[in-house]
């Protein structure tokens, strides 16, 4: 039986916060011991102290985590500057952790190291992966593509893992753009990629929604390098934006929708606010591949909030069991920035669709990770709300 427990504290003192969180989890577990956990923490906590307390309480827990731009849970709802931990208990499911370091130097080597470490105890098919990588030292898309490659190269007996669904989000530092941290057991790293692998009889489904809607005609990216777009339709990228937005500069309020070649679904790329009026180039918060078909998009606060509900509705509609045992949420730091004081409504919209006692937990990321469709390949998203539902087979 899969059982999840959540603890959440907004006490600014690290020792008091983790003591509060662990007390809540012990009460919810009623003597059960967790296999694994995810820790989401604001940037200013004493992270090593927090991790040591968790590992002291649960010495065998497979623990990963990272720093955030905001936290949410079924305990406190949305909070900033807080600490939340979700733990997994089961006597039938295998969950294991791994960490790859120095991902900016060699993303392939780092992700292979993380997967090779995590895959050791598994004897059954890997159902999915959760990862909480670095966001500032290297491209999130590069990390994700390397992680997909690393997972695809692993074998269990005669089975090659293939396209393992990946979920999660890039770690954040509350818009300081200085340093994010990734957690692995008692270790606090930067420039790293932690993973949790799940196998055995676990059910899951997910939903993806942003709330932004395409405007104008589609264009094709004709020149780009990494996260800088130089030309769309063989014209300066800035001209494409000005065609529909007039003198408004590219901003996260008007991201690009990039359409998947294999479906009518799109994933989002948000402008960073950096652009060159002479060359017409625009810098985005994620890589934009050449030949991508793109639309400029627009939204309202109400549509952004509605997307969290739509994401959860999608996940519920495709959930393969009777009822999920828990929910995980990954939302974007740009969504939080745009929503401002209404941010708390985003979690409320999602939670309203779920059983009031259902444990849930999540954080605001520097980029979200999930497939566009059930069991599909994973994409790096911006300004998107991801719902992941979990339960027993």
Structure tokens at 302: 């109400």
Other CB atoms within 10 A of residue 306 CB: 17
Structure tokens at 50: 């927090």
Contacts of 164 (CB under 8 A, 6+ apart): 126, 127, 128, 129, 148, 151, 152
pLDDT of residue 155: 61
Closest by CA to 223, choosing from 274, 279, 144, 272, is 279
What does DSSP assign to residue 249? P
Task: Locate the domains of the chain by residue range.
Answer: 3-208+304-392, 213-298
Q: Left, alpha or beta for 246 (phi > 0: left; psi -120 to 50: alpha)?
A: left
CA distances from 203 to 59, 99, 314 (A): 27, 25, 15
The Cα 274–Cα 251 span in angstroms is 8
Cβ atoms 73, 358 nearer than 8 A: no
Vertex 373 angle, CA 367 and 374, to 5° = 110
Q: Please state the φ and ψ torsions of residue 16, each to the nearest 5 degrees.
A: -70, -40
Residue 371 CB burial class (10 angstroms; 0-12, 13-18, ≥19): buried
pLDDT of residue 375: 77
The Cα 347–Cα 91 span in angstroms is 30
Fold of 213-298: Thrombin, subunit H (2.40.10)
What's the first-to-final CA gap in the chain, in angstroms?
9
The Cα 309–Cα 356 span in angstroms is 15
Residue whose token pair is 């995810």: 38
Cβ atoms 236, 250 nearer than 8 A: no
The Cα 60–Cα 132 span in angstroms is 20
The Cα 239–Cα 7 span in angstroms is 49
pLDDT of residue 237: 97
Structure tokens at 33: 């011991």
**Helix, strand or coil, per DSSP, at residue 144:** helix
Closest by CA to 17, choosing from 61, 59, 79, is 79
The Cα 150–Cα 376 span in angstroms is 16
Contacts of 107 (CB under 8 A, 6+ apart): 138, 142, 143, 145, 146, 193
pLDDT of residue 156: 59
Q: Please state the φ and ψ torsions of residue 357, each to the nearest 5 degrees.
A: -95, 0
Cβ atoms 353, 313 nearer than 8 A: yes
pLDDT of residue 263: 62
pLDDT of residue 260: 66
Per-residue pLDDT of the chain (393 residues; tens, 9 = 90+): 899 999 999 999 999 999 999 999 999 999 999 999 999 999 999 999 999 999 999 999 999 999 999 999 999 999 999 999 999 999 999 999 999 999 999 999 999 999 999 999 999 989 999 999 999 999 999 999 999 999 986 565 655 556 899 999 999 999 999 999 999 999 999 999 999 999 999 999 999 999 999 999 999 999 999 999 999 999 999 999 999 999 899 999 999 999 866 667 899 999 999 999 999 999 999 999 999 999 999 999 999 999 999 999 999 999 999 999 999 999 999 999 999 999 999 999 999 999 888 999 999 999 999 999 887 889 999 999 999 999 998
- pTM as predicted: 0.96
pLDDT of residue 264: 74
The Cα 268–Cα 385 span in angstroms is 11
pLDDT of residue 276: 96
């Amino acid at each position: 039986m899969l059982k999840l427990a959540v603890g959440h504290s907004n006490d600014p003192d690290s020792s008091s916060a983790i003591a509060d969180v662990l007390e809540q989890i012990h009460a919810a577990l009623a003597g059960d011991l967790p296999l694994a956990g995810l820790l989401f923490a604001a940037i200013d906590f004493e992270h090593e102290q927090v991790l040591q307390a968790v590992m002291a309480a649960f010495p065998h827990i497979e623990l990963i985590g990272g720093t955030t731009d905001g936290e949410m849970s079924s305990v406190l709802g949305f909070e900033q500057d807080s600490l939340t931990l979700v733990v997994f208990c089961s006597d039938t499911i295998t969950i294991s952790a791994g960490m790859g370091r120095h991902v900016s130097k060699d993303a392939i080597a780092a992700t292979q190291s993380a997967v090779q470490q995590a895959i050791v105890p598994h004897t059954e098919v890997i159902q999915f992966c959760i990862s909480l990588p670095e966001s500032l030292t290297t491209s999130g898309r590069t990390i994700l593509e390397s992680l997909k490659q690393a997972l695809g190269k692993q074998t269990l007996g005669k089975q090659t893992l293939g396209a393992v669904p990946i979920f999660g989000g890039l770690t954040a530092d509350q818009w300081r753009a200085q340093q994010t941290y990734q957690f692995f057991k008692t270790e606090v790293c930067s420039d790293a990629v932690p993973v949790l692998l799940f196998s055995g009889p676990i059910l899951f489904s997910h939903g993806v929604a942003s709330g932004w809607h395409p405007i104008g005609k589609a264009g094709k990216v004709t020149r780009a390098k990494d996260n800088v777009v130089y030309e769309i339709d063989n014209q300066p990228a800035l001209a494409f934006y000005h065609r529909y937005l007039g003198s408004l500069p590219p901003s996260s309020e008007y991201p690009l929708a990039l359409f998947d070649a294999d479906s009518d679904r799109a994933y989002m790329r948000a402008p960073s606010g950096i652009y060159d009026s002479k060359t017409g180039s625009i810098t985005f918060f994620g890589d934009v591949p050449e030949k991508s078909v793109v639309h400029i998009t627009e939204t309202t606060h109400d549509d952004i909030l509605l997307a969290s509900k739509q994401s959860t509705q999608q996940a519920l509609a495709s959930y393969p069991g009777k009822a999920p045992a828990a929910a995980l949420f990954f939302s974007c730091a740009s969504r939080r920035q745009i929503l401002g004081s209404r941010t708390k409504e985003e979690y409320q919209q999602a939670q309203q669709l779920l059983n009031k006692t259902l444990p849930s937990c999540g954080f605001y990321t520097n980029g979200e990770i999930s497939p566009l469709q059930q069991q599909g390949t994973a994409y790096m998203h911006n300004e998107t709300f991801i719902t992941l539902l979990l339960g027993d087979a």
